[in-house]
Structure 1
Amino acid sequence: MSETMKIQEWAGRYVAQWNEPDPDRRAALVRELWAGDGVQVLVDPPQAIREAAAGLAFPAPPLEVRGHEALEARVRRAYEMFVAPGEHVFAAAGEAFALLPGLVALRWSMVSARTGERAGGGLDVLALDADGRIRTDHQFIEAS
């Protein structure tokens, strides 16, 4: 299997964790994909959080979760908010690609489950460990 095919297969599993309806399977995907101390950082938090921080004279804080339990909670909450109601699904937007060895970029979209219309999306830059598990995921949310 070529390196490009491996990246695409891996990226498909990454996107699948956000859409997985079975809580046990979703948790298993998190544990398969992420290092035990893996971290996801939401680089540019939502406007309401930026405004609240600015009101306190703080720079906008990055939001992060670390470790399997926190990552499982993060993936579960995204599923509950966006996928479980039947309104949206997450999908890869184009092919994932290696930026450097062990560094993968993945564009994704949140699309209407009914029409397929794009409702949002972003870019994740993922640093992988030697076992191919995510050490860091810097997520950049794009305006819809």
Structure 2
Amino acid sequence: MDAIANTTAQELAERYIAAWNETDPAARRKLVDETWAEDGSYTDPLVVAEGRDAIDATLAAVQTQFPGLRFRLGGPVDAHHTIARFTWELGPADAAEPLVIGFDVMVVDAEGRIAQVLGFLDKVPSV
């Protein structure tokens, strides 16, 4: 894939966020399998996950750590070539102010699946 359109990147980012929010293990794994390349990787300051099994386990662990909270896109997805960037938010579904804000860079493979995500945490709750 030489380039991804902003609409394609937006849709892929929406499916990515949906996987983070899916609490049914079978449905979540289906989203991971459909959205991520088999050898895809996810890296943020807290975790490195390589392959679909590790990515799925990371999503499950985050859901356990933050029960009842929901991810949402923080704005439109910006993309060029095979790279997209977007802001996301984590908090209660009905909250105006998120508890956590992050910024992800996503690389898309030739099949239109996520090959890599590099995540950054911009706002985290104080402990």
* Residue matched to 2:77: 96
1:4 Cα deviation (Å)? Answer: 2.6
Structure 2 counterpart of 1:38, one-letter code: G
Aligned to 1:135: 115
**Aligned letter for 2:19?**
Q
How far 1:103 sits from its partner (Å)?
0.4
- Structure 1 residue runs of 5 or longer lacking an equivalent are 46-62
Amino acid at match of 1:64: V
Aligned structure 1 segments of 4 or more residues deviating by more than 4 angstroms: none
Select the residue among 48, 52, 55 that pairs with 1:64: 48
Identity %: 33
**1:33 and 2:35 correspond:** yes
Does the CA-based 8 Å contact 2:89-2:102 persist in structure 1? Answer: yes
- Bigger Rg over Cα: 1
State how many pairs are aligned: 121
Deviation at 1:116, TM superposition (A): 3.5
* Deviation digits for residues 63-111 of structure 1 (CA, Å, limit 9, x no counterpart): 41101111110011112222xx32x11000001110x311011210002
SS at match of 1:21: coil
Partner of 1:24: 26
In terms of fraction of residues, the more helix-rich structure is 1
- For the 8 Å contact 2:19–2:59, the answer to whether it is kept is yes
| Distance of 2:114 and 2:42 partners within structure 1 | 9
Give the CA RMSD over aligned residues: 1.7
In the alignment, the residues of structure 1 paired with residue 72 and residue 95 of structure 2 have an alpha-carbon distance, to the nearest angstrom, of 13
Compute the displacement of 1:114 (Å): 4.1
